[in-house]
Amino acid sequence: MPTVIFSKLELESLIEKKLPLEELKDRISMLGTDLEHIEGDEIKVEIFPNRPDLLSQEGFARALASFINAKGKTGLKQYNVEKPKKQLILKNLPPQWPFAIAFIAKGLNLDAEKVRDLIQLQEKIGVTMLRNRKKGGIGLYPLEKIHFPITFEGKNPKDIKFQPLDHNKILTAKQILEDHKKGKEYGHLMQDWKKYTIFTDAKKEIMSMPPIINSDIVGKIDTTTKNLFIECTGNDLKTITKAINIFASSLADMGATLEAIEVIGNKTTNNKLIIPDLNPTKMPLDLPRINKLLGLELTIKDAKKWLERMGFGVEESKNKDQPATVLIPAYRNDILHSVDLAEDIAIAYGYENFTPTIPDVATISQPNKREVFVEKLRNRLIGFGLLEIKNYHLIKNEETTISMNKPNLDTVKLANSLGDHNTLRPDLISSLLKTYTINAHHEYPQKIFETGRTFNYENKSHSPKNTDTGILESEHLAVGLCSETADFTAIRQVMDMIARETDTKLEIKEPTTQSQKTLYPEFIQGRVGEIILTQTISKTKQKSVSIGKLGEIHPQVLDNWGIKMPIVALELNVELLLKAVQQNNK
Is it the case that residue 420 has pLDDT exceeding 90? no
What is the rounded average pLDDT of the residues 203-221? 94
- Residue scoring higher pLDDT (584 or 45): 45
- 3-state secondary structure (DSSP) of residue 177: helix
Per cent of the chain over pLDDT 70 is 96
Instruction: Check which CATH number belongs to the domain holding 119 and give it.
Output: 3.50.40.10
pLDDT at 285 (0 to 100): 94
From the list 218, 98, 88, 203, the residue with the least C-alpha distance to 150 is: 88
Q: Are the C-beta atoms of residues 457 and 410 closer than 8 Å to each other?
A: yes
Say how far apart CA 428 and CA 476 lie, in whole Å.
Answer: 7
**Which domain-ending residue is among 324, 351, 378?**
351
From the list 276, 307, 140, 293, the residue with the least C-alpha distance to 208 is: 140
What is the rounded average pLDDT of the residues 527-547? 84
Together in a domain, 290 and 176? no
Is it the case that residue 205 has pLDDT exceeding 90? yes
Which residues have CB under 8 Å from 319's CB, separation 6+?
none
Q: Are the C-beta atoms of residues 225 and 104 closer than 8 Å to each other?
A: no
Together in a domain, 30 and 59? yes
Together in a domain, 39 and 149? no
pLDDT at 362 (0 to 100): 77
Report how many helices (DSSP H) and strands (DSSP E) the chain contains, helices first.
Answer: 17, 28
**Which domain-ending residue is among 275, 291, 312?**
275
DSSP H or E run through 21: helix 21-30
Q: Which residues pair with 536 in a beta bridge?
A: 542
381 is a domain residue = yes
Which residues have CB under 8 Å from 164's CB, separation 6+?
171, 176, 180, 182, 183, 209, 212, 213, 214, 215, 216
What is the rounded average pLDDT of the residues 526-553? 87
451 is a domain residue = yes
Per cent of the chain over pLDDT 90 is 73
Residue 105: which pLDDT band, with cuts at 50, 70 and 90? very high
Rg (CA), the chain: 30
Give the structural domain span for 485: 369-584
Together in a domain, 329 and 461? no
- Residue scoring higher pLDDT (519 or 184): 184
Is it the case that residue 513 has pLDDT exceeding 80? no
565 is a domain residue = yes
Is it the case that residue 267 has pLDDT exceeding 70? no
Residue 270: which pLDDT band, with cuts at 50, 70 and 90? low
pLDDT at 32 (0 to 100): 80
pLDDT at 463 (0 to 100): 43
Say how far apart CA 213 and CA 164 lie, in whole Å.
Answer: 6
Q: What confidence tens digit (pLDDT) does each residue in 296-309 have?
A: 999 999 999 999 99
End-to-end CA gap in the chain: 50
Together in a domain, 270 and 331? no
Is it the case that residue 216 has pLDDT exceeding 50? yes
Crossing angle for the helix pair 300-309 and 338-349, nearest 10 degrees?
80
Residue 191: which pLDDT band, with cuts at 50, 70 and 90? confident
232 is a domain residue = yes
Q: 246: left (phi > 0), else alpha (psi -120 to 50), else beta?
A: alpha
Residue 564: which pLDDT band, with cuts at 50, 70 and 90? very high
Is it the case that residue 192 has pLDDT exceeding 90? no
Residue 466: which pLDDT band, with cuts at 50, 70 and 90? low
pLDDT at 461 (0 to 100): 43
Is it the case that residue 465 has pLDDT exceeding 60? no
Q: What confidence tens digit (pLDDT) does each residue in 433-456 have?
A: 999 999 988 899 999 999 999 999
pLDDT at 462 (0 to 100): 42
356 is a domain residue = no
* φ and ψ of 501, to 5 deg: -70, -25
Together in a domain, 321 and 262? no
Measure Cα distances from 317 to 290, 323, 325, 340 in Å.
18, 6, 7, 21
Q: What confidence tens digit (pLDDT) does each residue in 311-336 have?
A: 999 998 887 777 899 999 999 989 99
Together in a domain, 496 and 390? yes
Together in a domain, 39 and 88? no
Say how far apart CA 219 and CA 142 lie, in whole Å.
Answer: 7
Together in a domain, 53 and 131? no
357 is a domain residue = no
Q: Average pLDDT, whole number, for the chain? A: 90
Residue 272: which pLDDT band, with cuts at 50, 70 and 90? confident
Together in a domain, 410 and 556? yes
Together in a domain, 484 and 393? yes
Is it the case that residue 1 has pLDDT exceeding 80? no
Q: What confidence tens digit (pLDDT) does each residue in 157-182 have?
A: 999 999 999 888 999 999 999 999 99
Burial class (CB in 10 A: 0-12, 13-18, 19+), 426: buried
Q: What confidence tens digit (pLDDT) does each residue in 123-145 have?
A: 999 988 998 899 999 999 999 99
Provide the domain count of the chain.
Answer: 4
Instruction: Check which CATH number belongs to the domain holding 483 and give it.
Output: 3.30.930.10
512 is a domain residue = yes
Say how far apart CA 3 and CA 252 lie, in whole Å.
Answer: 23
What is the rounded average pLDDT of the residues 74-88? 94
**Which domain-ending residue is among 67, 93, 122?**
67
Instruction: Check which CATH number belongs to the domain holding 55 and give it.
Output: 3.30.56.10
Together in a domain, 93 and 59? no
Burial class (CB in 10 A: 0-12, 13-18, 19+), 392: exposed
363 is a domain residue = no
Say how far apart CA 69 and CA 308 lie, in whole Å.
Answer: 9
Q: Are the C-beta atoms of residues 68 and 62 closer than 8 Å to each other?
A: no
